[in-house]
Amino acid sequence: MAPSEKYEIFVSVLTGQATQREAAEQFKVDRSTVVHVCRVAKQGALDALAASVPGRRAASGKSAEQIRLEETAAEIERLRATVLSSAANQLSGAWPGGKVQVSGLVVDDTSRIA
């Protein structure tokens, strides 16, 4: 069965234009096929809606998953910098001269990242 036919079955049942039995008769398929098509279409719609990010346009050529992955990587980097900065600030008071370098971050005795 073509995807367009499956879509027509789903839409006709969803909008109340036909019952499952009527749709099965119209498309000459078993009623269980109509039930299966509707279940798969509903799950596909829910998955697509869950993957979409409201208020943001999809970047050209990037899937919602790729966008989420990039956002997550940026968040990880932000958190990494925060943790390293905090560690460097705590260590800076323990060393003579009050200056310490942790993974590329240099903190001076005024507790600022240099």
pLDDT digits (tens, 9 = 90+) for 32-66: 999 999 999 999 998 888 877 776 665 566 777 88
Mean pLDDT of 13-31: 94
Q: How many Å apart are CA 9 and CA 40, to the nearest integer? A: 12
Q: How many Å apart are CA 40 and CA 55, to the nearest integer? A: 27
Q: Is the pTM of this model over 0.85?
A: no
pLDDT in tens, 81-100: 888 877 777 766 655 555 55
pLDDT of 102: 57
Q: How confident is the model at residue 74 (pLDDT cuts 50, 70, 90)?
A: very high
Query: CA dihedral defined by 93, 96, 97, 98, rounded to 10 degrees?
Result: -10
pLDDT: which is higher, 73 or 61: 73
